Structure 1
């Protein structure tokens, strides 16, 4: 009997696009959306099967347990790990029982997924990889530039813009919507051909224009950090504009989720934001990570003020 494939994916544009490429390559796979904080519990819930993990970082807090789960599951099936986040300190990815793909420097998960399954994908699925790269600000790698040569890039930026706006226009945990979108994109259908998707994107664009001014009025600063709390908008965008309007090195947007604060953190030309955020979050019994200029964190909500203070201190070293 053929073994089932399970796709574990992040729910942002890069995660959705990389999952779409994986689903196009491995038809009838089960698609599950999760995040770095939830990856361990998802792995524990799987008894057997082949697994594709896309755009989900390995957190320092859970790394040993995740490695243990990788060993358990790899004895029963294949694990393909397609991610571009820096691994936790001390973890050698080459020694893990998972299949990985080497991409160009700065390659996003969508670029890695296309490279992984290229031989069995329709070549036109390259545009889905490009959507993911645009959505993740990773569209200037040698790999994506090569893929773009086959397309009119103006058309693809329109499609990616619709996709990004639509994903930010639905609730973060609307996984049924995201699963249907993965299925839609896996069949090489254009975002602009889905009237519902376009309408959601247009509403989100109108909201963006309003919310920029809301952030401008609410932003607070602490040294090199500007921040906003519980703004009903994309955390990534709110963090970007908090930084811009606060005229600081780093912008933070946070929202209360039960007993925690979920945050997006953005900077420009910092190059080590993920390390700084991870260090501060772990000191406060939370988790954090991401990229050189874009990161995320989850900490106990009572520690938020201390997080801002320590983040500023780390930036001042």
Structure 2
């Protein structure tokens, strides 16, 4: 559990660097965590870490090329010890997934009693600015933080006070629309993603994006609409797949990863089902699993992975997994046995 002492310590780390390098996860919580820190520091470079829950040794080269004086890692559940050992600068790691024992980082994890508030909430408590970005990150991770009342007071048109559930905030409000914009512009080629991220570091208000008030916002919205079209096609296919049982399974092989977005929206539409969305890529099935209520998808996943070539984990109601294609059918059967 983190407190003001920890937030002050992170803030001092930010205040005392001139060339920080930020690694962040490719979802709204990760992106918003980066934006909060970067917009406060006004220095450094951001690197989005796609397709893996772990920050792998492949990123050592990125560090060598940039020569930072400090590294910040946000919203990544795992960091390779090889990476930690190889880089010769201080590492500040901010996360909310399962607590990991590691050597060589300053590690700040909000998790306690099975729950940790999203990384964007931690970063907001550190920088104390850009409330709208923090709200996007939290709601994108299905969480309504204690400062959400302050957000509703400042932006009642984006999040009415009557909204008390994160899924309703995500799919029934203007704030949710903002979250989807941030999520969708993280899809596709890394060069396109980084162009959008760079612009987002300069967007002044949520209305600039929502109302398309500047050339920069227009670039983001144009990109968002392109991705949204592909997403809507995938969602329609998934909705044709509904059967009267406890699991909603949808597999696809599109070039873009919509697994997290699809699984979230399908859970919102079918809260009593276990949702499994899997994307086939390079002989593997990249999965997003969701559940709600008393159904713990993390416990089910743990049992389903026994004698399966693959790995996975996450939160009680939201997990990711990567399964070898040839084992996927058996993996699904294992899940069905647990329901």
Who is 2:136 aligned against?
131
Output the aligned Cα RMSD. Answer: 3.4
The yes-or-no answer on 1:198 pairing with 2:205 is: no
Report the TM-score when normalising by structure 2: 0.72
1:185 paired residue among 156, 179, 200: 200
Distance 1:117 1:245 in 2: 35
* Structure 1 unaligned blocks of 5 or more: none
1:215 paired residue among 209, 231, 238: 238
Aligned residue runs from structure 1 range 276-295, under 5 A: 276-278=300-302, 280-281=304-305, 283-295=307-319
Q: 1:275 Cα shift? A: 4.4
Distance 1:153 1:199 in 2: 26
Aligned residue runs from structure 1 range 153-192, under 5 A: 153-155=156-158, 160-170=175-185, 172-190=187-205, 191-192=209-210
* 1:198-232 C-alpha deviation (Å, 9 max, x unpaired): 344456666666554422223468x6322011075
CA contact (8 A) 1:20 1:183 kept: no
Who is 2:262 aligned against?
238
Who is 2:95 aligned against?
83
* 1:119-164 C-alpha deviation (Å, 9 max, x unpaired): xxxx3x12211111122211x222x335426622433676643443
Report the TM-score when normalising by structure 1: 0.77
- Bigger drift between 150-159 and 17-26 goes to 150-159
2:105 paired residue among 85, 97, 120: 97
Who is 1:55 aligned against?
75
Who is 1:152 aligned against?
155
More helix by share: 1
Larger RCO (alpha carbons 8 Å, 6+ apart): 1
Q: 1:234 Cα shift? A: 2.4
Change (3 A) 1:114 1:169: closer
* 1:2-47 C-alpha deviation (Å, 9 max, x unpaired): 6631111111111111111121133332211114445122454335
